[in-house]
Amino acid sequence: MNDLDKGLELPVIEEFYTIQGEGYHTGKAAYFIRVGGCDIGCRWCDTKFSWEADLHKLTKVDTIVNRVAQTPGKSIVVTGGEPLLYNLDYLCEEMKKKEIKTFIETSGSYPFSGSWDWVCVSPKKQSPPLPEAYEIANELKVIISDETDFIHAEETSKKVKKNCLLFLQPEWSNRDMMTNKIVDYVKQNPKWNISLQTHKFIKIP
């Protein structure tokens, strides 16, 4: 078993300290790591450069942990690509040792590894979450690209636990058309909240 399989290395595309821009934790400081590799293939994906894991250099998890520990925010968001393609147990163990909170953003379509303080599941029609993802999710964030996505959102919301927070987020390239539709939908269905990609509006990573 190599270091990647052991979770001692990850194919990191980018890592940076910033302000969270989406979902429940919007506005909070956090260190982001984006890992390479995803086979879901959303047509509207804004990180298609992340799909091919082999294009991205392996980074030692210990190096990542040390960088995160030097930031004041003391939390990490692991995203992708699809981060659950990898063994994230060691990453989370080392973060916990340094009292760093661990957040993950995932489609939920792969088995979970790691120990998480917050799990955001963003379900995809073509590769639905596994049953365990619905049980684990603290936050369900559904991307709305067209009106059929509201149906998908409702179907998915029936599968999560009752205290899971529900968010609808306009797909960025279609935001001018869909944001007002989401506003109207949430007003009629107030169990949902609106998530906006505020980091793009204020032009930060």
Segments making up each domain of the chain, as ranges:
3-201
* Architecture of the domain made up of 3-201: Alpha-Beta Barrel (3.20)
pTM of the model: 0.93
Residue 33 pLDDT: 96
Residue 153: half-sphere exposure toward Cβ, Cα within 13 Å: 26
Say whether pLDDT at 89 is over 60: yes
Is residue 54 over pLDDT 80?
A: no
Distances in Å between the Cα of 164 and the Cα atoms of 24, 70, 119, 134, 139 are: 11, 31, 10, 9, 5
For range 138-164, the mean pLDDT: 97
pLDDT tens digits for 171-202? 999 999 999 999 999 999 999 999 999 999 99
Cβ proximity of 198 and 175 under 8 Å: no
Contact (CB, 8 A) for 103 and 49: no
DSSP 3-state of 103: strand
pLDDT band at 37 (very low <50, low <70, confident <90, very high): confident
Residue 50 has pLDDT above 60, yes or no: no
**pLDDT band at residue 44 under the 50/70/90 scheme:** low
Q: Say what the pLDDT of residue 57 is.
A: 83
Please say if the pLDDT value at position 53 is more than 80. no
Q: Is the per-residue pLDDT at 39 higher than 90? A: no
How far is residue 45's CA from residue 148's CA, in Å, rounded to a whole number?
Answer: 17
Pairing mode, if any, of strands 9-19 and 29-35? antiparallel
Residue 42 above 70 pLDDT? Answer: no
**pLDDT score, position 35:** 94
Average pLDDT, the chain: 93
Angle (CA) 167 172 173, round 5°: 145
